[in-house]
Structure 1
Amino acid sequence: MHIMTPEEKAYLVGIGSASINEALGANLIPTTATAGPGAGGSSVFIRSGGRRVRLSTNPASPLRVVPDGDGVAVVHDKETITRGSIERPLCHCPEQAYITVSERCVHDCTFCPVPKLDGAIKNTKTVARMVEEANAGGSLSAISLTSGVAESPEREVERVAAVVRALRARFDLPIGVSVYPTAASTAILRAAGADEVKYNVETMDPGVFRAVCPGLSLPFILDALAGAVEVFGRNAVFSNFIIGLGEEDSMVRDGVAYLAELGVIPILRPISASPLRAGEIAVERPSAERHLGLAAMTRDILEQNGLDPRRARTMCLPCTGCDITPFRDV
């Protein structure tokens, strides 16, 4: 049986999308992203051995997912890149109920389509129903909540905390939360019953941050992350770090080291260019070679700081579909 290699996964992540053979349609359950740079697009998950990759569905992609015996193959031109099987998502990803509470945002980060989408705001009853449906399959291992900022960061934290309290009363599962921080968000979310938290720096390059996240504060996010480690502990605080916004590798290395020294595990996330942001920002998805190199560098730094992504129970690190994850993929 073929098992996807780190190099094969990095090649797929470097492209990030695939067209899906029509013969797979009857067995395919695509998932649609409602948060972050990939919001609005559908995707599929492919599992091979211990590795998983998420590919956005795009008829114009150079990659094709085609039937291959009892599984599928991912093909570029006439060359088979890897083989595996389609995984069925529960909510957004396999094995987790990963739910966006507010699918809208008053902030205007230029890499993110969410402010352009004016999506739904889910109430506690809706989120609980979604988790119940995911749990009915018997393979649910975690609940993960993310959210934009529908009105204000403070109101959003209170909204998500109310959801966490309701879910904690009904489910004996780890709960992770990703929101924009406030001065009190860490204490509020911990008291509500959250087990892990993610505050996204987006980039550790101050100049790039000012350009792509107008009105937001990188120092404030970093202070919030440091405070979150004091409350949630090491290996329970994470931060998305987007790659492909024009940052230099030396800055990535310094940024990863800074976060790791705080006790935060960074998640190096390749940029997904959104057509809703065309003309507003120039981005370049990292190559397979760059992503592998940065992931290996991140693993070394995490190891030096006693951090291990394999101890994460919620959100992106256990999933691994979108990234090359240290200790899991390399």
Structure 2
Amino acid sequence: MYELTIVKSLQPRQRHEEHTMTPEEKAYLISIGSASIDEALGVGLLPTTATAGPGAGGSSVFIRSGNRRVRLSINPASPLRIVPDGDAVAVIHNKKTIARGRLERPLCHCPEQAYITVSERCVFDCKFCPVPKLGGAIKDTETVVRMVEEAAAAGSLSAISLTSGVAGSPEQEVDRMAAVVRELRARFDLPIGVSVYPTADSTAILRAAGADEIKYNVETMDPTIFARVCPGLSLPSILDALEGAVEVFGRNAVFSNFIIGIGEEDEMVRDGVAYLAKLGVIPILRPISASPLRAGEIAVERPSAERLLHLAGMTRETLERHGLDPRRARTMCLPCTGCDLTPFWDV
């Protein structure tokens, strides 16, 4: 059990004091999820814009503190503020320093990875996701290859991660993604992770194309909530696909986003994490980001720092029992850690 003990960390720090962000501090930052930016950082700011998931359309920055990383959306109305602090930055609240670190340069969406959304549009209507409202671009294979080449030229590229909405049908999207993976596999000696909506053959197709890891998102393990927020999708089909993916990709190579803050109870989260872990799937507990494009369609509540710490600790214990370790993941969200309180990395 983890408890929030952040009183000491809220005291002002000396400008050049070395400090590694604690799990409690990171949980507090994630519980808010955003920050305003001091004008003095304008020239050196290293923002990235999300094109997939609940945070699509928003810009954010990454801060590295010791061995921990946090991603904060840029929001002028946020109670947090990122300010210069010597050769680093500090995140402050009511003139008190919460954490200190350095801004990290994202390559494509996140540091050290080319994390690319192939289809920035979706025919499904998940109520937490703004992508269907944005009508973004569909990248062809040549565009994706060029983006990866540019990321590689910038240095420190360690993985390629691909995600996608469903622009037409799930089957068409899998075929599009497979073509991209085949071309990337021929050109780059890097691990490739893929996140799509599953089809009957998607696991075999993407593995044959050269993908190393795969993510099928359950979104929530509460069937009642799933039916309400993901109309047209099938939770049983996703679970079947996850089970089959473990047989093909192996343990510690299959993942699933599990949104926190859309009305689920902690008991359901515990049971859902245990169910996925028993299959050999590593769940990623993702705090909900409320989208103004979905206002009135879904009630969301960003999880508190205390809840994030409790659920992350519970998830770590469950993963340990089932012999799963997020540190073995090479692509997508788990090695990034910016958006979540990640077991083994953070707690």
Deviation by residue 1:64-105 (Cα, 9 ceiling, x = unmatched): 000000000000011100100000000000000000000000
Please tell me the residue identity of whatever aligns with 1:136: A
Please tell me the residue identity of whatever aligns with 1:88: R
- Residue of structure 2 equivalent to 1:168: 185
- Residue of structure 2 equivalent to 1:200: 217
- Residue of structure 1 equivalent to 2:4: none
Q: Does 1:313 align with 2:330?
A: yes
Alignment of 1:204-243 (within 5 A): 204-243=221-260
Displacement of 1:27 after TM fit?
0.8
SS at match of 1:111: coil
* Equivalent of residue 162 in structure 2, options 130, 145, 148: 145
Tell me the number of residue pairs that the alignment of Structure 1 and Structure 2 aligns: 330
Displacement of 1:137 after TM fit?
1.6
Give me the whole-angstrom Cα distance separating, in 2, the residues matched to 1:292 and 1:175. Answer: 30
Displacement of 1:215 after TM fit?
1.1
Give me the whole-angstrom Cα distance separating, in 2, the residues matched to 1:131 and 1:52. Answer: 22
Please tell me the residue identity of whatever aligns with 1:110: K
Deviation by residue 1:240-277 (Cα, 9 ceiling, x = unmatched): 00000100000000000000000000000000000000
Any gaps of 5 or more consecutive residues in structure 1?
Answer: none
Deviation by residue 1:6-47 (Cα, 9 ceiling, x = unmatched): 000000000000001111111112000000000000000000
- Residue of structure 2 equivalent to 1:322: 339
Give me the whole-angstrom Cα distance separating, in 1, the residues matched to 2:90 and 2:329. Answer: 30
Normalised TM-score (structure 2): 0.95
Give me the whole-angstrom Cα distance separating, in 1, the residues matched to 2:66 and 2:154. Answer: 22
What is the aligned-residue RMSD (CA, Å)? 0.3
Q: Does 1:103 align with 2:120?
A: yes
Any gaps of 5 or more consecutive residues in structure 2?
Answer: 1-17
- Residue of structure 1 equivalent to 2:14: none
Please tell me the residue identity of whatever aligns with 1:295: A
SS at match of 1:136: helix
Give me the whole-angstrom Cα distance separating, in 2, the residues matched to 1:214 and 1:200. Answer: 14
- Residue of structure 1 equivalent to 2:293: 276
Q: Does 1:78 align with 2:86?
A: no
- Residue of structure 2 equivalent to 1:69: 86
SS at match of 2:214: strand
SS at match of 2:42: helix
Normalised TM-score (structure 1): 1.00
* Equivalent of residue 177 in structure 1, options 194, 199, 204: 194
Please tell me the residue identity of whatever aligns with 1:159: R
Give me the whole-angstrom Cα distance separating, in 2, the residues matched to 1:262 and 1:16. Answer: 31
**Overall identity of the aligned pairs, in %:** 85
Displacement of 1:144 after TM fit?
0.1
Give me the whole-angstrom Cα distance separating, in 2, the residues matched to 1:208 and 1:281. Answer: 10
Give me the whole-angstrom Cα distance separating, in 1, the residues matched to 2:65 and 2:278. Answer: 33
Displacement of 1:193 after TM fit?
0.0
Displacement of 1:138 after TM fit?
1.9
- Residue of structure 2 equivalent to 1:129: 146
Give me the whole-angstrom Cα distance separating, in 2, the residues matched to 1:253 and 1:205. Answer: 11
